[in-house]
Structure 1
Amino acid sequence: MHNSLWDTSNISYTGCAAQVFLLIFFMGAELSLLTIMCYDRYVSICKPLHYGTLLGSRACAHMAAAAWASAFLYSLLHTANTFSLPLCHGNALGQFFCEIPQILKLSCSKSNLRELGLLGVSAFLVFGCFVFIVFSYVQIFRAVLRIPSEQGRHKAFSTCLPHLVVVSLFVCTALLTYLKPPSMSSPSLDLALSVLYSVVPPALNPLIYSLRNQELKAEVCTLMTGCFQKH
C-alpha cells in the first residue's frame, strides 16, 4: 500500500524479511484455521451429539493456539533460512512483494537446497491438510445426502460449499506457485498466481462468510435501496 501511494517499488532488506515472515505466518495460520473449520463442520454435521464434547471452548482455544504457534515457528524457520543465503544476482524481484521463490532466484549459493527441501516438506504438510479436508467433506456430503428434508440439505450445503471453494482456491494456487517447475515460470504467470493465493481468498472471506448472515443482508439491501432512491 505504501508503494502504491508513493509510486515507488523499493523495499529495505529488513522490510523484505518482515514481509516474508508475515506472509508465511498468515498463510500457515490460514491453512490451519481452514482445516480446523472443516473439522468443525464435520463434527457438527456427522456427530452433532458429540459436538459439545469434541469442540468445547477449551478445545477451540487449544486448536487456535496451536494454529498460531505452529504458523509462527514455521514462518520463523523459512525466513531465517531464506535470508541466510547470499544474494549475488542483483536485488530486483520480479514480483510486487517479497516472495521466497523470487528471492531464491537471486541466490547463487547451493545451500538454497535447504530451502527447497523446506518447501517440499511444506507441500507435504499442505497436501496432508488438503487430503484431510477432502476426506472430511466426503463424510459430510454422505451425511447430508441422508437428511430427509430438502431444506435441511440446502442449509448444510450452503454452510460447507463456500468454505470448500476458499480452501480449493487457496491450496491449489499456493501449491502451484511454490512447486511449479522452472520451465513454467514467467512474470505474468507468477504475478497471477500470487494474486490468487495471497489476495483473493482473504478478500472473499467477508463476502463468503458475512453475507450469509440474514441481518447483514437486510442492512445491505436497505442501504442500497436508500442510495438508489437518492439518485
Structure 2
Amino acid sequence: MTARGVLVVGATSPIGVAIAAEFAATGHRVAGVALDRPPTPPHEVGVVADCATADGAGTAVEAARSAFGRLDVVVLAAAVMPVAPVTATTDEQWRAGVDATLGSAFAVSRAALPYLGRGSAIVAVTSVNATLAAPGLPAYAAAKAGVEGLVRQLALEYGPVGVRVNAVAPGMIGNADLPHVTDGYPLGRVGTPADVASAVAYLASDAAGFVTGAVLPVDGGLSIASPAAYLRPDLRARFLAD
C-alpha cells in the first residue's frame, strides 16, 4: 500500500485527533492544522494557521505537500459553535461561526484542489444540525449547511478530473455520561470520535471509489427518528415493549 498524504483541518479537536489516528494507523502520513496550537502526534506534521484566510489555507496545504511530497486526502473538520438565539447573536459570533466552519472549508479546498489528482478525496465533517434545527445555533447550522452545499458543488466540478468530495454528518459526539441524551438515538448511544473517523476513512478510501457528492449520516439513527416517537410515551412504549 502506498502511503497517502493527508491534511486534517481542525486537527486538535477530539474528532480531528481521531481522524489523524485512523489514517496513521493504516500507514498514511498526516499533517494537522489548527488555529490555536500546533497539532501533536498522531499528526506527523503540525501547523498553526487561520485556514479561513487564503494565506493560512495556503500555508497548511504547502506544509503537507512539502513534508510528504504529495497530497491525496483533505479532511475539513474545523468548526466554531457560538450558542445564542438569532436576536442575541453578535456580528462577531456570526463571523466566527461562518468563517471558521464554511470559510475554512472553502479556502482550504481552493488551495488544495490544484494539487489533488485522480483518486484523491476531500471529506468534510458537517453535522445533523445542517438539516435538523436546534435552539441557539444559527451561525453553526447555517455554516454546516453551507459546507454541505459546497461539497456538492465541488463534487460536480471536480469529479471529471477524478477528485471525490463527500461529507459525514455526525450527531452528538462524546457525551455518553448524559443518559437522557441517548433517548433520541435509535442505537441507544451517542457517537464517539472514532465512529466519525471510521466513516471519514471509508469515504477517503478506494472502497468508496464511486461515491461522490454524498453526505453520510454518522448519528446513530438520530436523523431518521420522529421526535413524536420520543416525546409521546405511548408511541415510545410501542417499540420499547419487547
Given the two structures, how large is their TM-score scaled by the length of structure 1? 0.30
- Which one has the bigger strand percentage? 2
- Which one has the bigger helix percentage? 1
Larger radius of gyration: 1
Given the two structures, how large is their TM-score scaled by the length of structure 2? 0.29
